[in-house]
Amino acid sequence: MGRSTIATIAALLVAAGLLVPGPTAAAATAERLRAYDAISTRDAPTRVARAPRAAPARPMLGEATTLRGTIPSRQRRPVVLQQRRNGTWRTVARAMTRRDGTYRFRVAAARTRLRVVAPRRAARGLPRVRSRSARLVPRPQQLVATVPHVVARRRSVTLRVRPLPARAGRRVTIVLRHPRLGTRRVTLRTRAAGTARTRTAFARSGAVQVRVTARRYRGAAATTVRRRLRVVPRPRPAVVSHRGLFGAGAENTVPAFTRAVAVGADAVEADVRRTSDGVLFLIHDETFARTTDVAAVFPGREDDPVGSFTWAEVRRLDAAAGRSTSPTPVPSLDELLRAVDKSGVRVVLDVKRPDLYPRIEVEVLETAQARGLVRPGDGDLVRFDCFDWTAAHRIALADPDAETGLLAMRAPPSRLTPYRWADQWVVNQRVVDASLLARVRASGAGLDVWTVNSPSAALDFADLGVDALITDNLPALRRVLR
């Protein structure tokens, strides 16, 4: 076989694509492809195929993705992927179709337009084919943060974070802002499953703002999610509604106590005094001037002691004068006990001025006993508080099952041993601290704090470990302590 014959056969094989050309032939082939790219649609008819499809359909910006599509062809042919840059289509990748005309390109997702072009092959009778242009729509990165809504103080909890797409080694920042503990910042890296987690505990109660940020990733902007976490004291102190939930209504009245029960008070506190004819009723002040319409009903008696009125005269007074359109009577002690008896809510009775009303403490005890509210053990539904500690001691002597509380405006004595008979110390919030609580606990009694209206102060006392908070702001304290 002559040299001319061999050269002819080789040229035919190269033209048929069955023989891989040498470096010089490869360069010539690449040059021809570039020439085909430059062929204008005016030179020959151009077929238009469907735009390539991306898998996944919405890849992350910069994430590797696969473009698939089909051009009309029954044989393999070269195709090029072109990208629109600065108003010009530029070739960025080349491939060969299968015999059914399908092609595939592996690219990084960007916001520019893409199209696929199969150059014209005149020798094989293949027309130029151009796909419709398509724009990948990159999705922003996503962030999933799992944060509990409520946690107990000092209990360790786990915060989980998962940026999407899930990749190992991604950086995530968690910022915890506590109103009384300041700001804590934690930087994590995701593990093999694409999840990062950290365990934490909080030494004080309060509402914590949690901000989680996934750093910029492959051109996608950083993303942030915010969550709110509430740290609550455990055990939670009881919340006692001071004189009932009166708000714009009347204090120490049956409607005020029933509203407090409905809102969720653990106990209600009421002040007890006695009329001139021996009826126990509810009022805080020494006179009726502040809380009733006594000036209109009994002119000139505004400054008279409440104990100088008969029960019939007291019933003529409106306890909600100027605060409500409907009259509200001043209630008797028996009416209060009857109103809250079935609710199971405890009643704290502040027995006022035994020096002005001799034996009032015994009468209050007997009224509660008659309704079955004083029980053996810890089942009492009533407690008897008094600023007069001698009168409180008389209650304890009259009925050892009765629960007694000692009210104190100032700090109790350093030695509490003589008062071991008392069940509870009820102390003004200004003098309550950890040392006082330790002394009270050592004496075997409990500690209540009055009058706590600030949610922040309530959390401080709750974290201190007191037994109950007496408040005029029942709804707010219920929210922060629930």
pLDDT tens for 185-232 read 999 999 999 999 999 999 999 999 999 999 988 767 899 999 999 999
Q: What is the pLDDT of residues 70-100, one digit of tens each?
A: 998 888 999 999 999 899 999 999 999 999 9
| Structure confidence by residue, pLDDT tens digits, 434-476 | 999 999 999 999 999 999 999 999 999 999 999 999 999 999 9
How confident is the model at residue 8, as a pLDDT? 47
Q: pTM for the full model?
A: 0.71
pLDDT of residue 24: 52
| Confidence (pLDDT) at 31 | 54
**Mean pLDDT across 23-46:** 49
Give Cβ neighbours of residue 465 (< 8 Å, ≥ 6 apart). Answer: 437
The 10 Å CB-count burial string (b at 16+, else e) for 344-371 is ebbbbbbbbbbeebeebbbbbbebbbee
* pLDDT, tens digit (0-9, with 9 covering 90-100), for 147-159: 999 999 999 999 9
Q: Taking 60 as the threshold, does the pLDDT of residue 431 lie above it?
A: yes
Structure tokens that stand for 441 in this block: 């606990």
Torsion over CA: 392, 448, 378, 482 (sign): positive
According to CATH, the superfamily of the domain at 142-232 is SOR catalytic domain (2.60.40.730)
> Per-residue pLDDT averaged across 475-480, rounded?
93
Residues 320, 328 contacting (CB under 8 angstroms): yes
Tokens 């041993």 appear where? 417
Largest separation between any pair of C-alpha atoms in the chain: 144
Mean residue pLDDT across the chain: 88
Confidence of residue 271 (pLDDT cuts 50, 70, 90): very high
Residue 248: what pLDDT?
Answer: 64
- What are the start and end residues of each CATH 2.60.40.730 domain in the chain? 142-232
Mean pLDDT over residues 176-185, rounded? 93
Per-residue pLDDT, averaged over 262-281, amounts to 96
The pLDDT tens digits of the residues spanning 321-369 come to 767 668 899 999 999 999 888 788 999 999 999 999 999 999 999 999 9
Percent of the chain at pLDDT > 70 equals: 90
pLDDT of residue 108: 85
| 3-state SS record for the chain | CCHHHHHHHHHHHHHHCCCCCCHHHHHHHHHHHHHHHCCCCCCCCEEEECCCEEECCCCECCCEEEEEEECCCCCCCEEEEEEEECCEEEEEEEEECCCCCEEEEEEECCCCEEEEEECCEHHHCECEEEECCEECCCECCEEEEECCCEEECCCCEEEEEEEECCCCCCEEEEEEEECCCEEEEEEEECCCCCCEEEEECCCCCEEEEEEEEECCECCECCEEEEEEEEEECCCCCEEEEECCCCCCCCCCCHHHHHHHHHHCCCEEEEEEEECCCCCEEECCCCCCCCCCCHHHHCCCCCCCCHHHCCHHHHCCCECCCCCCCCCCECCEHHHHHHHHHHHCCEEEEEECCCCCCCCHHHHHHHHHHHCCCCCCCCCCCEEEEECCHHHHHHHHHHCCCCEEEEEECCCCCCCCHHHCCCCEEEEEHHHCCHHHHHHHHHCCCEEEEECCCCHHHHHHHHHHCCCEEEECCHHHHHHHHC
pLDDT score of 43 more than 60: no
Query: Pairing between strand 88-96 and 403-408?
Result: unpaired
Confidence band for 32, pLDDT divided at 50, 70 and 90 = very low
CA distances to 233, 239, 272, 434 from 464, rounded to whole Å, are 9, 15, 31, 7
| Half-sphere exposure (Cβ direction) of 298: Cα atoms closer than 13 Å | 21
* Residue 332, pLDDT score: 97
Residues whose CB is less than 8 angstroms from the CB of residue 236 and which lie 6 or more positions away in sequence, other chains included: 462, 481, 482
Any idea which fold 45-135 has? Immunoglobulin-like (2.60.40)
Specify the pLDDT at position 7. Answer: 46
Phi and psi angles of residue 393, each rounded to the nearest 5 degrees, phi first: -65, -35
Q: Residue 33 has what pLDDT?
A: 43
Q: What is the CATH code of the structural domain delimited by 238-481?
A: 3.20.20.190
pLDDT at 449: 98
pLDDT for residue 41 is more than 90:
no
Q: Shortest CA distance to 180 belongs to which of 462, 428, 453?
A: 462
Q: What is the pLDDT of residue 301?
A: 95
Domain with CATH 3.20.20.190 in the chain: 238-481
Query: Residue 16, class by beta-carbon neighbours within 10 Å (0-12 exposed, 13-18 middle, 19+ buried)?
Result: exposed
- pLDDT-derived band at 22 (thresholds 50, 70, 90) equals very low
pLDDT > 90 fraction of the chain, expressed in percent and rounded? 72
What is the pLDDT, as a whole number, of residue 432? 97
Confidence (pLDDT) at 27: 52
